[in-house]
Amino acid sequence: MKDKVVIITGSNMGIGKAIARHLGALGASVVLNGRDAERLSQACDQLREEGMEVSGFPADIADPESCRQLIAHAVKKYGHLDILINNAAISAKGFFEDTRPEVFKQSVDVNILGAMYATREALPHIKATKGQILFISGLAGLRGMPFQGTYCMTKMAQTALAESLRAELYHSGVHAGIVYVGITKNDPTKKVVFNDGTWRPLPERTHRFASTQDRVAKVVTRALERRRFKTTVGWDGKMYLYVSRFAPWLLDLVFRNNIDKFVEHDT
């Protein structure tokens, strides 16, 4: 990672910030992003105090022009771009039939279109360095789950894009990869959007088996170093991958008989 220039969308908190810390500690120059400029500035100050080379660019990735400016900022500041990590996402909860159309739109705008705009703008620069595009997905990108159909749909779309890019970019030397993150301990300030359009804090995840953000960042770093295509994080990630591939009927059974647990977990 030494001297690599990395943009991480949605990195003023949470998993994105943890990845920034890991890559920064290995000598990468990291451009952090998020819409909340104050939180972004605090995150940058914190990482600089820890000795890392970082720069912050506040931008809404749902806006194509903002994505153009984000990529231009990195290239202007550091001279080139090696890695784009599409991490920014919003998580929508609720039953599909009760979900307001604006929640569909927000989710698609950020999780799908945002990743597409940023990737398209970054590609000419990443081709020049034979670099990498990495998508941060989750269990939702492996199998549709009750109470989060909108979120699952957007995360699966990222798989499709990663697979297409992997083939399209193979001969250019650019690597496209995707990391399926399992249940992870969240920042206490993390909020999710519900089907009625309200944003509510996500209850802290206290399960013993939930990964830490630090663990996720380590796995992401290894995936980048080894240029791996599909990577899972945590035992739940591995279990989902294998069961959804080899015994999808088992997940169907578990999901349909435990819908109330999904609701309870996320409310």
Ligand X SMILES: NC(=O)c1ccc[n+]([C@@H]2O[C@H](COP(=O)([O-])OP(=O)(O)OC[C@H]3O[C@@H](n4cnc5c(N)ncnc54)[C@H](OP(=O)(O)O)[C@@H]3O)[C@@H](O)[C@H]2O)c1
> What are the residues binding ligand X (CB under 6 A)?
9-16, 33-36, 39, 60-62, 87-91, 110, 114, 136, 138, 181, 183-184, 186-187, 190
Q: E strand or H helix at 42, and its extent?
A: helix 37-49
* Residue 240 appears among annotated catalytic residues: no
The smaller minimum CB distance to ligand X, of residues 51 and 188, is found at 188
The amino acid present at 146, given as its one-letter code, is P
Chain CA centroid to CA 124, Å: 21
d(CA 85, CA 220): 10
The H helix count followed by the E strand count for the chain is: 10, 10
The smaller minimum CB distance to ligand X, of residues 114 and 149, is found at 114
d(CA 42, CA 189): 14
Surface-to-core class of residue 247, CB atoms within 10 Å of its CB (0-12 exposed, 13-18 middle, 19+ buried)? exposed
Instruction: Please state the closest distance from residue 172 (CB atom) to ligand X, in A.
Output: 25
The smaller minimum CB distance to ligand X, of residues 41 and 129, is found at 41
The smaller minimum CB distance to ligand X, of residues 172 and 267, is found at 267
How far is residue 211 from each of residues 25, 70, 84, 167, 169, measured CA to CA in Å? 20, 30, 23, 31, 32
d(CA 4, CA 24): 10
Instruction: Please state the closest distance from residue 189 (CB atom) to ligand X, in A.
Output: 8
Contact 146, 262 (CB under 8 A): yes
d(CA 43, CA 156): 29
Instruction: Please state the closest distance from residue 44 (CB atom) to ligand X, in A.
Output: 12
Residue closest to 4 by CA, chosen among 19, 50, 118 = 19
Q: List CB contacts of 131: < 8 A, sequence separation 6 or more.
A: 4, 81, 82, 83, 84, 125, 174, 175
Q: Which residue in 78, 117, 151, 240 is the catalytic one? A: 151
The smaller minimum CB distance to ligand X, of residues 127 and 203, is found at 203
The smaller minimum CB distance to ligand X, of residues 99 and 184, is found at 184
The set of catalytic residues is 151
